[in-house]
Structure formats: C-alpha cells, structure tokens
Amino acid sequence: MVAAMAGLGVYFRRVGLDDADKLASVIGAFVALAGLGTAAYGLVTSPKQHEPHVPASEPDSLAIGGDTGGITSTGDGAINVHMRAEASGQGRVYQAGRDQTINE
C-alpha cells in the first residue's frame, strides 16, 4: 500500500494534478460502463429462484424440509404458507394459514 501511494505521488508530480484528474475521469467512466454491463449480464443470466418441493408420502401426512424456516407439504395440490413474525416485550403474534379463533 505504501508503494502504491508513493507511485501515485510520483505520477501526480510528473504529470500534474490537472492531467491526472482528466485521466482519472476517463478511467472512471470506463469502469462505470463495465460495471453496468456486468450488472445487466448478471440480471439476464441469473437463475430463477424457486422454493424446492417437499412431497408428503401419504395424502394425510406432513413433510417438513428445507432449512430452519421449513417447507411444509400436506400432500399433492397443497398450498404452502410461509409466515415469519417477531414480538418484543409483552407483544403477541397471532398467525394462521387458514381460519383462526382467538378466545381471550
């Protein structure tokens, strides 16, 4: 790092700050264009993200797979519902994938 700083100091002194600034602007423009092209390429070629299917072995069985979030499947044609909640202090979280009854 010290060598790079020393090299830049020598370069600036030899070329002059005005010319070095102009060159840095041109190099920065080319780097920005290369980054934009790389980002566009990444968007076009990135694989589509989808959740893996975890089949249940029987119609009335429950299969849990995936990471700690878990993917549940209750058989063919089931709709998977993913819920995440967080409460702090004395807060409560009520979640239901279908009907919910709360009796307090």
- Domain extent for 70: 50-88
Domain count, the chain: 2
pLDDT at 2 over 90: yes
pLDDT in tens, 71-95: 555 556 666 667 777 888 888 877 7
Same domain, 11 and 35: yes
Same domain, 26 and 58: no
Residue 24 lies in a domain: yes
Task: Collect contacts of 20-24 with beta carbons under 8 A, ≥24 apart.
Answer: none
Same domain, 82 and 67: yes
Residue 99 lies in a domain: no
Residue 73 dihedral angles phi and psi, to the nearest 5°? -140, 130
Residue 39 lies in a domain: yes
pTM of the model: 0.40
